[in-house]
A and B are shown apart, each in its own frame.
Chain A
Amino acid sequence: MKRWSRTKRWSHTSNMKLTRRELAAALATGVAAAQTQSPAPSAAQPSTPERELEAAQNRNRGAAAALARVSVPMAVEPAFQFKA
Chain B
Amino acid sequence: MAQLSSDVFFATVTELNTRLKAREFSVLELTRAFGARLEKLGPEYHALALPLVEQATRGARDADRDIKAGRLRGPLQGLPYGAKDLLSFRNHPTTWGALPYAAQIFDYNATVIDKLAGAGALLLGKLAMVELAGGGGYRYASASLTGPGLNPWDRSRWSGGSSSGSAAAVAAGMVPFAIGSETSGSIVTPASFCGVTALRPTYGLVSRYGAMALSWTLDKLGPFAHSAEDCGLILQAIAGKDGKDPGSAGKSFYYTPQYARSVKELRIGYAPADFDARAEPSARPAFQAALAVLKETGATFQEVRLPDFPYGPVLSTILTSEMACIFEPLISSGKVDELADQAQIAGLKASLDVAAKDYLKAQRIRRLIQEEFGRIFAGLDVLLAPGRPGPAIPVDQPLDRPGATAPPGGVTPPRPAAEGLQGIVPAGNLAGLPALVFPCGFADNLPVALQAVGAPFSENLLLSMGREFQAHTDWHRRRPPGL
Contact = CB atoms under 8 A, between A and B. Distances in A.
Interface string A26-63: 11111111111111111101100100110111011011
A70 B310 contact: yes
Contacts of B4: none
Nearest to B350: A56
Given A2-B379, A37-B185, A39-B137, 8 more contacts: A4-B307, A6-B307, A35-B182, A37-B316, A60-B317, A64-B354, A66-B313, A67-B361
Interface residues on A, range: 35 or more
A51 B134 CA distance: 19
Nearest to A72: B364
The 4 closest A-B pairs by CB, nearest first: A34-B184, A33-B409, A78-B363, A52-B346
B138 interface: yes
Interface in B280-319: 302-317, 319
Nearest to A65: B313
A39 B350 CA distance: 12
Contacts of B309: 10, 70
Interface in B415-450: 415, 423, 425-426, 429
A52 B313 CA distance: 19
Given A30-B310, A40-B400, A52 B316 contact: no
A29, A30, A55 — most chain B CB neighbours (10 Å): A30
A62 B137 CA distance: 15
6 contacts: A30-B414, A38-B139, A49-B345, A53-B349, A67-B313, A78-B364
Contacts of A57: 350, 353
Contacts of B248: none
Interface residues on B, range: 35 or more
A80 B303 contact: no
A46 to B, nearest CB: 8
A3 B308 CA distance: 11
A32 B410 contact: yes
Interface string B349-365: 11101110010111111
A23 to B, nearest CB: 10
B365 A4 contact: no
A38, A41, A57, A72 — most chain B CB neighbours (10 Å): A38
Contacts of B17: none
B366 interface: yes
A37 B370 CA distance: 22
Given A35-B134, A35-B183, A72-B364, A42 B402 contact: yes
Interface stretch (B67-75, B212-220, B233-241): B212-220
A56 B324 CA distance: 13
Nearest to B217: A80
B304 A33 contact: no
Nearest to B366: A79
Given A31-B410, A31-B412, A32-B315, A38 B368 contact: no
B308 A13 contact: yes
Interface in B382-407: 398-402, 404, 407
Contacts of A46: 342-343, 346
Contacts of B139: 38-39, 45
A35 B366 contact: no
A33, A39, A64 — most chain B CB neighbours (10 Å): A33
Contact of A63 (B136, B316, B363): B316
A37 B137 contact: yes
A68 interface: yes
A63 to B, nearest CB: 4
A59 B348 CA distance: 12
A82 to B, nearest CB: 11
A6 B269 CA distance: 18
B355 A64 contact: yes
A55 to B, nearest CB: 7
Contacts of A39: 137, 139, 343, 347, 400, 411
Nearest to B346: A52
Given A45-B400, A52-B345, A60-B353, A76 B312 contact: no
A6, A66, A72 — most chain B CB neighbours (10 Å): A66
B214 A56 contact: no
B57 interface: no
B316 A36 contact: no
Nearest to B408: A36
A29 B345 contact: no
Contacts of B350: 53, 56-57, 59-60
A32 B137 contact: yes
B212 to A, nearest CB: 11
A34 B315 contact: yes
Contact of A43 (B135, B136, B402): B402
A1 interface: yes
B372 interface: yes
Contact of B305 (A4, A67, A68): A4
